[in-house]
Structure 1
Amino acid sequence: MTFDRRTLMAMAAASVAGSAFGQTPPPGTKLALPAGLYQPTETIDLWPDGAPGAPAVPLVETVNERSTDAQLTDRAVFGISRPRMVVFRPAQSNGAAVLITPGGGYRWVVIDKEGYEMGRWLAARGYTVFVLFYRLPGEGWAAGPDVGLSDAQRAMRIIRSRAATYGIDPGKVGVMGFSAGGHLCADLATRFAVQTYKPLDEADKLSARPMIAAPVYPVISMRTPNAHPGSREKLLGPTPSVIEEQKHSPHLNVPDNAPPFFVLHAEDDDVVPVDNALLLRAAIRARNIVVETHIFAHGGHGFGLRKAIGKPAEAWPELFLNFARTQGF
């Protein structure tokens, strides 16, 4: 991706304007966190005057701890009214950035397993990482099914607007998502040019197109029998129309200028059928877009980093890095 002088000037102006945003702390917890494990504190709010189209009844941000191991957190957050990015800065930047969209079935957003753990791993390898806590479509926002995409588009633009601050190349911003967050990742990579909110500032003049996209065990199809029932209902309601199903199935909306994809799934996934990944791969190939696909025999669903240990799927993060390098990322 190249940027002309006008775009660079817009980025500079957006960076100055964005620096005045008030920042909301990361999702918290009342429980003690594991000693010695880095917990990020730097955040970037997406919407300076509050997220648009708020529900009539104010939301209460709530964090649930699902782990029974005091040394292994597994938090999930819902009721997100102040969508924001939590930042992981590398000790030495390689000039690239990754926006992470964790999963949670559009019921909540997973904090640790598909957010912070991957953030730490990528930052240790030179990437500047932004973990996105996006609004949930079933919580009454006016944008409805597009509310998460609005946050993802806005996040990509803010990252680019602050490229100089973080020492990154604005053309080297990718996205990685897991499960329902994999759906959001693929949605961003296929509908990045769709206007889902009214532009606010100079940052919104920048592109929301990621350089590469990595949906991991993603929800893709919103049509039975391949749809994940929970994600489908939270996103579209109990009886969506065929038009709504098509609009929100990324494999049915791949444009000719979609970015290269890295797609990952397990054959024995008993939550999100592996056919979701295969449908996406076929649609990308039909557009002659670069795609690398890894289907592991074993892994189940939601393996992230921790549950892949000891299995062939454990190799997936290094496979992603190898692919990213071939794309100049």
Structure 2
Amino acid sequence: MKFDRRTALMGGVALGLASRAAAQTAAPATPASPHLTFPDPAETIDLWPAGAPGAPETLPVETVKERSTDPAFNDRYVFGISRPRLAVFRPERPNGAAVMISPGGGYSWVVIDKEGYEMARWLNGRGITVFVLFYRLPHEGWAAGPDVALSDAQRAMRLIRHRADAYGLDPKRIAAMGFSAGGHLCADLMTRFDARVYDPVDAADRLSARPDAAAPIYPVISMTAPTAHAGSRKNLIGEAASPALERAHTPSFNVPADAPPAFLLHAEDDGSVAVENTLMLRAALRERGIATETHLYADGGHGFGLRLAKGKTVEGWEHLFHRWGQGQGLWA
């Protein structure tokens, strides 16, 4: 091997990147999981270099629980997130596009596998770089309260753009996707990407937090009964929230003229988050002239992700999303 100045410089860069990666907080994982179907992602990005802002006096303790006893798959969730971060999934042949996924969990916890890693691997297979967002939960005492998850989502989107060159990304082809309460976070980001919900900390915060496209999947949207998902509403704004607070955190009331194009999807037999949530967002986007593609299915229930969609009319929805992304020029 020829060793010259360029080789030395590149080696130094690689060493620096490796050191930075090693210093990041590992992805949430069960210390003694009875089974692990796929390896957990090894690469992560901490969102806040000096620690997450507005921490409670006693930090929540990060805890991971496994719900699956089937060795064929994992179904974990995490709560007590005090070090919000992105888990990075790099494809073998990156096409320059990225998707940031915010999994659901009713703002009680963040689902790891079903609405995070499984979709990330599917998108990786199509050349898309994926960042799974582990965001702070609003009921765990953070000063930002109902804006704490949005703070993490904005910061995460800016960091992805800031590091686009390092990941081989086009900073104008970065989409957001979210499921259930994570769909609320996705919709909150696509409508309030410009809201100042935290104080800037570095150069990344000079960049836009606006996703280039958004896909809220069976999302929580309404914060007003009876359409609201009661658990998400309680955890986000509290049971005694005023109508003004409900409105402030209902994305369909906050759609700006420059909101990104949206892909919406819901099963009409969803017994947890009523399909009216998606219809509210669709109507608001269309009223603003935002390009929107909507898919409603007769059956699928709630929380189907990829794996639980099989055998239902909603099966294969991910291919519709991928084709929609092609039409938006996000990927080929």
TM-score interval, normalised by the smaller of the two chains: over 0.9
1:262 is matched with 263
TM-score, reference length from structure 2: 0.92
Q: Distance in 2 between matches of 1:33 and 1:25?
A: 18
1:7 is matched with none
1:9 is matched with none
1:20 Cα offset (Å):
5.0
1:71 Cα offset (Å):
2.6
1:182 Cα offset (Å):
0.2
Cα shift readout 1:27-75 (whole Å, capped 9, x = no counterpart): 011214335x242110000000100000111211000111121332100
1:218 is matched with 219
Q: Distance in 1 between matches of 2:59 and 2:81?
A: 10
**1:293 maps to amino acid:** T
Q: How many residues align?
A: 312
Deviates more, 1:56-65 or 1:194-203: 56-65
1:12 is matched with none
1:315 Cα offset (Å):
1.7
Q: Report SS of the residue matched to 1:213.
A: strand
Deviates more, 1:293-302 or 1:309-318: 309-318
1:13 is matched with none
2:123 is matched with 122
Change (3 A) 1:172 1:124: same
Cα shift readout 1:269-312 (whole Å, capped 9, x = no counterpart): 00000000000000000001100000000000000001101222
Alpha-carbon RMSD across the aligned residues, in angstroms, is: 1.3
**2:45 maps to amino acid:** I
After TM superposition, the structure 1 = structure 2 runs for residues 84-103 of structure 1, keeping only pairs within 5 Å, are 84-103=85-104
2:234 is matched with 233
1:31 equivalent to 2:33? Answer: yes
Higher RCO (CA 8 Å, separation ≥ 6 residues): 1
Percentage identity across paired residues of the two chains: 63
1:293 is matched with 294
Q: Distance in 2 between matches of 1:105 and 1:226?
A: 14
Q: Distance in 2 between matches of 1:314 and 1:140?
A: 39
Structure 1 stretches of 4+ with a deviation exceeding 2 A read: 19-22, 32-35
**2:56 maps to amino acid:** P
1:191 is matched with 192
**1:240 maps to amino acid:** A
1:139 is matched with 140
Cα shift readout 1:177-207 (whole Å, capped 9, x = no counterpart): 0000000000000000001000000000000
**1:288 maps to amino acid:** G
Deviates more, 1:121-130 or 1:307-316: 307-316
Q: Distance in 2 between matches of 1:307 and 1:50?
A: 36
Which sections of structure 1, spanning at least 5 residues, go unmatched? 1-15
1:242 equivalent to 2:243? Answer: yes
Q: Distance in 2 between matches of 1:33 and 1:149?
A: 33
Q: Distance in 2 between matches of 1:229 and 1:165?
A: 41
Q: Report SS of the residue matched to 2:314.
A: helix
- Structure number with greater Rg is 2
TM-score, reference length from structure 1: 0.93
**1:236 maps to amino acid:** I
